[in-house]
Amino acid sequence: MSIVGIEALEFGVENLAVGKQFVADFGLSPVNDTTFETLNGARLSLAPINDPQLPPAFESGSTLRRMTWGAADATALAALKVRLADQPGFVDHGDLIECRDPNGMTVAIRVSTLREVELEVTPINQYGDMRRIDTPSPVYERATPVGIGHAVFFVDDLEATEAFYREKLGFAVSDRYTDRAVFLRMQARGGHHNLFLLKLPHRGAGLNHVAFTVRDIHEVIGGGLAMNRKQWSTFLGPGRHPISSAYFWYVNSPLGGAFEYYTNEDYLTEAWEPREMQHSLESFTEWAVEGGIDAETRRQKKAEV
């Protein structure tokens, strides 16, 4: 279908200075004073929480205010214009359109400007499949995220929000937790999810986390340790999700929700059959370290007393 990438995230934040420090420490490069980017050119920008340029917030406090998706080309954008014209908040800016999704998030779409990134990724050696010969595995001092891979929203109306992304933007269902959540991907062929919508009984709409793709498991670990060294707290990680198979490390974010480093997610095609499961601890994590790993001792971080 027509959406091919996550182009930009715009946050409204309570403390701009702390927010900027966090994003720089997380490994994004500055473009200007309040905008940062990943290696593939996906941008993250910050503005004061009450900035009149920002669209309305879907929850109180620092959070994501606008999410921009990339369309494959001008033809795809023109088709989306027609399909989204009846949505609340629809505005046609010519080369950029925007509207609100049923969860209150402002969704913008433009023709994708993301760059192809060529990186050296060291293979791993597994039984019967030795791919790394006479070459050691890397150790990363810090992470440098390649791109923005997915966002996770708490939703009020799961059915309506899922219908918007499937019917209007052409997303495909990857997996589902009965009456609770859905994993969606923007293309039939691609990473396991670009959006995860989660309905919790006592939580209204809001941001759970945004996730950044890194090269390999070693960069997930190096990135998490570097954030720990800089005194940012870990929500959960390192760990592994059984759904999507990804390794992850979530860091608490002063921009709202958490920021995730992840790698090694499942790659799906048209042949994939979505699974339906019960939402449970076992389906969320195979294993995970609570509070992270201490960068000095290299051991699990002890709980503060």
Q: What are the residues binding Fe ion (CB under 5 A)?
A: 211, 260
Contact 194, 265 (CB under 8 A): no
- Name the closest residue to Fe ion (Cβ): 211
User: In the chain, count of helices (H) and strands (E)?
Assistant: 5, 20
Question: Residue 2 or residue 22: which is nearer to Fe ion going by CB?
Answer: 22
Q: How far is the CB of 129 from Fe ion (least distance, A)?
A: 27
Nearer to Fe ion, 80 or 224 (CB): 224
- Which stretch of DSSP H or E encloses residue 229? helix 217-229
Query: Which C-beta is closer to Fe ion: that of 76 or that of 186?
Result: 186
Q: Say if CB 121 and CB 15 are below 8 A apart.
A: no
Sign of CA dihedral 213, 4, 275, 205: positive
Comparing CB distances to Fe ion, the nearer of 182 and 211 is 211
Single-letter amino acid code for the residue at 206: G
CA distance 290 to 302: 9
Instruction: Tell me the sheet residues that pair with 3.
Output: 71
* Residue placing its CB nearer to Fe ion in the complex, 216 or 260: 260
C-alpha 222, offset from chain centre: 19
Residue 252 contacts residue 235 (beta carbons within 8 Å): yes
Angle at which helix 16-26 crosses helix 217-229, to 10 degrees, equals 140
Please state the closest distance from residue 272 (CB atom) to Fe ion, in A. Answer: 18
Residue 17, both tokens: 């200075």
Residue 281 has φ and ψ, to the nearest 5°, of: -60, -40
Rank residues 37 and 260 by Cβ distance to Fe ion and give the closer one. Answer: 260
Question: In the complex, what is the shortest distance from the CB of residue 149 to Fe ion, in angstroms, rounded to a whole number?
Answer: 8
Residue number with CB closer to Fe ion (22 or 212): 212
CB of 291 to Fe ion, least distance (A): 18
Minimum distance from residue 262 beta carbon to Fe ion (Å):
6
User: Which residue, 234, 247, 227, 206, is CA-closest to 302?
Assistant: 234
Residue 155 CA to residue 149 CA, distance in Å, equals 19
- Please, which residue, 109 or 210, has the CB nearer to Fe ion? 210
CB of 181 to Fe ion, least distance (A): 12
